Each structure stands twice: as structure tokens, then as C-alpha cells.
Amino acid sequence: GAGVSQSPSNKVTEKGKDVELRCDPISGHTALYWYRQSLGQGLEFLIYFQGNSAPDKSGLPSDRFSAERTGGSVSTLTIQRTQQEDSAVYLCASTLTRDRASEQYFGPGTRLTVT
Amino acid sequence: KQEVTQIPAALSVPEGENLVLNCSFTDSAIYNLQWFRQDPGKGLTSLLLIQSSQREQTSGRLNASLDKSSGRSTLYIAASQPGDSATYLCAVEDDYKLSFGAGTTVTVRA
């Protein structure tokens, strides 16, 4: 079946612009996660959704970052007034249930470059 | 805060040799541990998931062990092949989110 998909695969934007990154989880997966992978920081957690609610936003690095999920499916990560330090690969993952035995399945990522 | 460390950072072996990748974590109160593979420019592929109550998991040439009390996991890859060349990431789950190590980059020479 289809895996987690993300769009766009690459995004180049100018400093100060807003960007939206999209994630389509595996159909039927209730939990969705956003992570960021950057050269200096490795892979870090950003936000977790269970259904449409986000019980854990602790990883969002600043108030320029926000995310929403609608219909228990697609999620959008928005970065306002982008800065060069936002350049990274943004990865989305989903799991079938909240059961902690569930594997997280990752999408291919969106590579964001802020110039 | 959970800290995950992977040793070595890089490994180069001739084809056919067995691989041993190490992962350690500071807080033993984890729910599970997952090993991933990442190819250059690609996302993460899940290899094995070990629940906190388990001591090991096996899939084909891959075997992963977990010693939760000492905060350690080891991934063994038997009879390595050039196609095994990739970065291997260890991640532990607590509070629903994964904390990742920096990875071990493996090169298998033909």
C-alpha cells in the first residue's frame, strides 16, 4: 500500500517568506509526527498529533512554527518569516495507533533551503 | 532529557564481514527502541522495533538486542553486502516521541 508522502520534496525560499510543508500519512494511521533533520542537530522531534489534536508541541523551536491536522489525515507544517537556520530536511511519520508497540513509518522528507 | 549515543560514528568493512552497531541511552524508562536505515537523500526505513519487554528481535540477517536496565542496544548484521551501505539510526520512544542517535554510517566494500 501507499506509504507516507510529503510535498514538496524540495523547497527553496528567501529569508522572511512563509512556507507550508504537507504530509499525507498512511491511510488509517491515527498518530502523526513531525521531525527535523539538520546537519548540526541531527534528528529532532517537533510535534505530535493524535487525531486532529496536538498533545505535544514541545519540540517546535519558536512561535514562527505551527502545524495543523485536518480530518485526522493530512497535516501541514507552516514556518513563518523563515530564517537561514530553518534550513533542514523536515520528516513526517505516522503510526497506526497510540500503542507504543507501533512502528513509526517515515515519509521521504521535504528539503527546505532558506537563502 | 533522553540522550542517545551511537558508536562508532562510521564503519568500513569488507563484504561478508559481520557488522556490530551500538546504541546507548540515558533514561531506561523507554517504551520501545527502533532501528532505522537511511540512504543518502532519502527518508528513514524501519528495520526492527523492540518493545521494552523484549530482549531481542530478528529479521533475516538482522538481529537487535535490548538491555533496558543498562540502557544499551546492539544491531548485528550478518554477512554484510555492499547494499547494506547506509546510515543506521537508533531511536528510543518515551512520551510518544522518538529521540534519535546521530547514526552510524556503514560502508561495505566489495
Query: pLDDT by residue for chain A (115 residues), tens digit each?
Result: 589 999 999 999 999 999 999 999 999 898 999 999 998 778 999 999 988 888 788 899 999 999 999 888 999 999 999 999 999 999 999 998 766 667 889 999 999 999 9
Residue of B nearest to A6 (CA): B43
CB-closest option in B43, B46, B93 to A91: B43
Encode pLDDT of B55-85 as tens digits: 999 999 999 999 999 999 999 999 999 999 9
Window 91-110 of B, Cβ < 8 Å to A:
91, 93, 95-103
- Shortest distance between the Cα of B48 and any Cα of chain A, in A, equals 9
Backbone angles phi, psi at B9, to 5 degrees: -75, -30
Reduced to 3 states, what is the DSSP secondary structure of residue A97? coil
The pLDDT value recorded for residue A99 is 64
